[in-house]
Amino acid sequence: MSQHTHTQGLVELCHVSRSFGQVKALSNVTLTIRRGECLGLIGHNGAGKSTLMNILAGTLALDEGDMTFAGQPLGQDYAVNQARALGVRCVFQELSLCPNLSVLENTHIACPEIRGWQWRKQAAAQMTSSLDQIFPGHGIKPQHIVADLSIGQRQMVEIARAFTAVDRPVELVILDEPTSSLDARVAQQLLSFVRRFVEGGGSLVLISHILDEMLSSCDRIAVMQDGHVVEVRQATDYTRDSLVEAMGHAASPTHTQSDVRSNESSVADPTASESMTSGASNAPLRVHQASGPAAHTPVIEARQGQIIGLAGLAGHGQSAFLNKVLMSRQGAGQVAFVAGDRQTEGIFPLWSIAENMAITSLKGLSQYGLIERQKVMAMANQWQHEMGIRTPSVQNPMGSLSGGNQQKVLFARALGASADLILMDDPMRGVDVGTKREVYERIQAEAAKGRTFIWYTTEFEELSYCDHIYVFRDGQAVEGFPLSELSEARVLSSSFEEDVVC
Amino acid sequence: MNRLMQATLNRQAWAARPWIWSYVAAVLVLIATWSFTGGAGAGELLSGALSFSAFFAVAGLGQMLVITTGPGNIDLSIPANIALSGALAMKVMNQQDSLIGLGVLAVVGCGLSIGLFNYVLIRLLRIPPIIATLSSSFLVLSVAIVYGRSVRIQPPEGVYQFATGKVLGVPWVALLVMLLALMMAILLKRTRLGWGALAIGQNPRAAALAGIPVERIRCCVYMVSGLMASLCGLLLAGFSGGASLSMGEEYLLASIAVVVIGGTSVGGGCSNVPGVWGASIFLYLLVSMLNTFGLGAGVRMILTGCIIIAVITAVSGSAVSQAKAR
Amino acid sequence: MLSQRSILSSSSSSSSASASAATSSSTSPPTSLVGSPEWRAHIPRLLRTLLPAFSLTLLLLAIFVMQPRAMSYFGLNLMLNLAVPIALATIAQMMVIAINDLDLSLGAFISFVACVAATWLNTHPVAGALALLACVGIYALLGALIHLRQLPAIVVTLGMSFVWSGAAILLLPSPGGSAPDWLRTLVSIKTPWVPLAIVASVVLALLVHLLMVRSTLGVRLRGAGGNAQAVAKSGVSLFKARVTLYAFAGVFGVLAGLCLVGLTTSADAGIAMRYTLLSIAGVILGGGEFVGGRIAPIGAVLGALTLVLAGSLLSFIHIAPDWQIGAQGAILIIVLALRTLANRIGARS
């Protein structure tokens, strides 16, 4: 057995777990990455793909379990430097090039082994040969400054840099959505190089949302869900449909239960039908999308009192869409925003809870141009009560609240303003279940009063609170359907690209 | 457990009022001076402290508002502004009491325009405020040199009386600057402009998303800073019997120093009006104490510098430990 | 209705732009990458790199037209005499800007160095040299303090400017002192063909270019300013990077002070106060930027020369020297405006 793994498994993960606070990002994962294979990793948002790759790359430590490399156990101190020494390279989605340096200078940053009097020549030669091998006809000169390159070219440099071997061979490369900013031809070049690389004995982990890429390039595909690896099979055993099914169908029973409950509640909600009538009197908010080649992209439409859900994989243009709507309507003061990324987009850390709540509604809280303290406190106390924010006093600093309660403050800020359109940018990130319940109810009640919500969410079950759902992919809504047609398979199959657009 | 809570609460109360330290320091310095002199000239010292610190305070108030809007926001054009405004006021007033009103108007207009010009540079050229206010200060200073080169004009009698006069031992200037400080406090606590500036300083992205007109507020902030600096120029010219080109020079560093020592966060989002006053008084008293001790300007400056670095290290030390605790 | 239309227009314009960008990138044949669009993308970079040299040439031409005699060995030497210390100060400032900080104490520091050179270095050469060495050490310590406590460099260097000024006043309460003879002879060497100021500037620019641009050390230091996280992930110590850059700033500050006092032969405590702002302006004029580790040593030296020559030009076209500072400000604004323009062009193409 051990002999077997020694020849076959390059990296073995045994019952690996990793938690972030309450959230178990990875639980009990057992997975083998063999020599000379391309292993696909697929799953919806929060399935644990990026946690897994960060553990492989040494940027995250694991809580429990064991990891071996070429049969040798890796200790607790496994970190980036050791990963590099073993020949493990990682191309993250966020670019890790220095924009102020040239391509060859960036090569030195990643491969400090290149040194000496002729280092420029050496780095340039390494980089050119790597680029030539992977992306023939790339047109990138090693002397180019990275800031001057297009996003696609930067991605190419980053990938090529991961494959440059200076004094030890590259054993394992992890590519996270490598084709996301490459055009079809260059993506094809990369994928054929991936095959050549693994046929030459290298190992590769590929994460992609384009199903065809996965099916054609991978030897095996591991399907992840809620921190588990639920299935590992030969890529040839899968079809597009069965992949989508594998990602969705093993939903845990609690999910289905809550789905049913929420479905019922929103169907029972009288506003769902009412909003259609009120929509006739009030012109709906309409957002047309690109009129480019994809003529079938739907028009996003929000009627008064509706809750519109935006779905799809994270980072596919949902937040940008919300931003666009926000900026275009902000002058009128008719729109409010609930941030999901609380620390960078939501809270004012030096302020009290009351001040954080009141900031969007200051106009209504002032008299003769001066803000009335009493009115601010009255508003804060009222909304503390309405949202059930658990704090002894709204004058306490924002930092004294738990994450969930901070999120409630952001909801109170938006709901307390006079806006009739409320945009929500995945606001439930890292919020506990109890808080979520309360907020869902609140949103439905506000919608019943005639407010319109546009809600981007990465959690499937939250879509069941929406009247109409749009699935985003590559910066656009690619499909829209009413709640009655919502199914996990439908969202998944729209989120993952089935054919390569030419 | 309970005692621990009490202790943290106490510490929070102190942390919430960092300006107290500048007053504590000022009082300590005062006591040290008096104990050295045996209390002689106590009244003059206090009254002098009030009037001299008023000039620091008025320039510091404007700088404070700018610094409030976040890291990188600093107004380097204050010294040039002071020089130009002083010269402008003296020339427009032309030693006639009847022209005082016009002179004040001219000064106000001058300050607001310099602030607006700073903002336009920041916005149009998309350059950091430091370099924008730096380059505009070159221009303004040059105008001041050319404009104010002619013979030194005395201030009108009314302005001179106001700038040097006292009521019940308190200088008029100090009263005026106290009024300005009060207005600044109201601006920060009670107006949408002030709240907006504080919000931008804490988290500019969240501020924009919360519907705050970020650019409009930035513009206003620089204009207010310009206004404060030009008022400082007017008062200084009145106080010292005429404008001089170099009278603003020390305000470049001093305006930042009183803001930092006064407990305003350099990271933005937290400003401190009483602290600016406290720090101004402290700096003046420190000078006079060292003078009484017979120590020269060199020691005084070294001490000032060390105090600034110590204050910023202490403040950020607590911020670092807080971040770690989180 | 109005807001609806605005949504519509904004969405259609931005999405059509992105769509056209997508189509152009996907339809472009492989060879076109090396063709015109590729070349065009580098125009702003080219413009920005050439801008400092271009503005300096323009200035020299103007001076030459106004006053042909200025273009002699003697004339150039006279005009550029004080350029070398300013260029050195600019390089020192550039080191600090490379790691996204700003040194507001540079002018005071150079003044202090000048005072040390005019007193101790003259009377007790060993003590003086040790004091200057200690100055570099203090700069390195400042870098360490700023990094370890995550302090705003502006405030720390502001405090230091008081300290240096105070120390300078203690050392030299009234203008005076005298520069060591060897220093005076060193800065007034008569070089053949071209004046020393030009030779020194060229040597300085090339040396610092080698150090900061061509060497692997320079790459790591600039990388730390460009993308600190990524560089740290690759095992570069950000602490070492900052300390090294601050120490470099100290070294060049000391050189600036020595050079200055050699030229003026005596010192006073406020001799170089204007250098703080001039050095910042010089770095920016030379194509450097405040953030992102974007520095250009050759450009910085050219920027410093431009600032110095701007004053000479004004005197040649009979504009009162009062406007000299204003001209420096105007040049700064014009260059920054041109750069913004170049960036806009780049964004459009």
A285 and A352 share one domain: yes
**Distance (Å, whole) CA B235 – CA B159:** 8
Q: How confident is the model at residue C3 (pLDDT cuts 50, 70, 90)?
A: very low
Closest residue in A to C32 (Cα) is A139
Q: Does C231 touch chain A (CB under 8 A)?
A: yes
A18 shares its domain with A61: yes
Structure confidence by residue, pLDDT tens digits, C221-275: 999 999 888 888 777 889 999 999 999 999 999 999 999 999 998 899 888 888 9
Closest-CA residue to A149 (of C23, C24, C45): C45
* Structure-token match 């008096």, residue found: B34
A450 and A342 part of one domain: yes
In-domain check, residue A108: no
Distance from CA of B323 to the nearest CA of C (A): 12
Are A368 and A297 members of one domain? yes
- Model confidence band, residue C342 (pLDDT cutoffs 50, 70, 90): confident
Is the pLDDT higher at A320 or at A77? A320
Q: One-letter amino acid identity for A341?
A: D
pLDDT at B15: 53
Region of poorest pLDDT, from A202-206, A428-432, B8-12, B124-128: B8-12
For B43-325, CATH number out of 1.10.287, 1.25.40, 1.10.3470, 3.20.20 equals 1.10.3470
Q: Are residues A263 and A237 in the same domain?
A: no
Please tell me the predicted confidence (pLDDT) of residue C134: 96
C173-204 residue pLDDT tens: 989 888 898 998 888 888 888 888 899 999 99
Most confident of A356-360, B17-21, B48-52: A356-360
Domain boundaries, position A11? 1-87+203-249
Quick check: B209 contacting A, CB < 8 Å? Answer: yes
Give the minimum alpha-carbon distance from C291 to chain B in angstroms, rounded to a whole number.
9
Report the candidate in A501, A2, A414, A25 with the shortest Cα–Cα distance to residue A229.
A25
Q: How far, CA to CA in Å, does B137 sit from each of A446, B57, B219, C311?
A: 53, 20, 17, 17
Chain A contacts of C15, Cβ < 8 Å?
289-290, 292, 476
Structural domains present in chain C: 54-340 (1.10.3470)
pLDDT at residue number B314: 79
Statement to judge: residues A367 and A244 lie in one domain? no
Residue of C12, C25, C214 with shortest CB distance to A183: C25
Residues on chain B touching C281 (C-beta within 8 angstroms): 131, 134-135, 138
Report the pLDDT averaged over residues B148-172. 81
Please say if the pLDDT value at position B283 is more than 90.
Answer: no
- Those residues with Cβ within 8 angstroms of residue B2's Cβ, 6 or more apart along the chain or in another chain: none
Asked if A270 and A414 sit in the same domain, the reply is yes
**C282-291 average pLDDT score:** 85
Q: Is residue A378 part of a domain?
A: yes
CATH code for the domain in which residue A50 is found: 3.40.50.300
Query: Which residues, listed in sequence order, are joined to residue A207 by a DSSP beta bridge?
Result: A41, A176
A87 has a pLDDT exceeding 60? yes
The predicted structure's pLDDT at residue A26: 87
Q: How many domains does chain A contain in total?
A: 2
Q: What sign results for the dihedral spanned by CA atoms A182, A183, A186, A190?
A: positive
> To the nearest whole number, what is the mean pLDDT of chain C?
82
DSSP state of B239: H
- Residues facing A307 on adjacent strands: A453
Chain B residues with CB inside 8 Å of A417's CB?
Answer: 211
CA separation for the pair A102, A148 (Å, rounded): 9
pLDDT at A417: 87
Between chain A and chain C, the number of residue pairs with CB atoms below 8 A apart is: 132
Range of A248-257, B159-168, C217-226 with top mean pLDDT:
C217-226
| Residues of chain A with C-beta less than 8 angstroms from the C-beta of C14 | 324
Q: Same structural domain for residues A449 and A360?
A: yes
Residue A240 CA: distances (Å) to CA of A206, A209, A246, A272, A421: 17, 12, 10, 34, 38
- Per the domain annotation, does A275 fall within a domain? yes
> How far is the alpha carbon of C96 from chain A, nearest alpha carbon, in Å?
16
Calpha distance C111→A126 (Å, rounded):
48
Q: Do A467 and A304 touch, CB atoms closer than 8 A?
A: no
* Domain edges within chain B: 43-325
Task: For residue B317, name the pLDDT band (cuts at 50, 70, 90).
Answer: low
C-alpha A302/C-alpha A419 separation (Å) is 15
Q: Is the dihedral of CA B309, B310, B311, B314 positive or negative?
A: positive
Same domain, residue pair A225 and A351: no
Q: State the CB neighbour count (10 A cutoff) for residue A185.
A: 15
pLDDT at C32 over 50: no
Q: How far apart are CA A83 and CA A80, in angstroms?
A: 5
Residues of C (162-221) whose Cβ lies below 8 Å from B: 162-171, 173
Q: Does any domain span residue A79?
A: yes
In this complex, the residue of C102, C149, C320 whose CB is nearest that of residue B146 is C320
A248: closest CA of chain B, how far (Å): 34
pLDDT of amino acid B34 = 83
Please indicate, yes or no, if residue A124 is contained in any of the structural domains: no
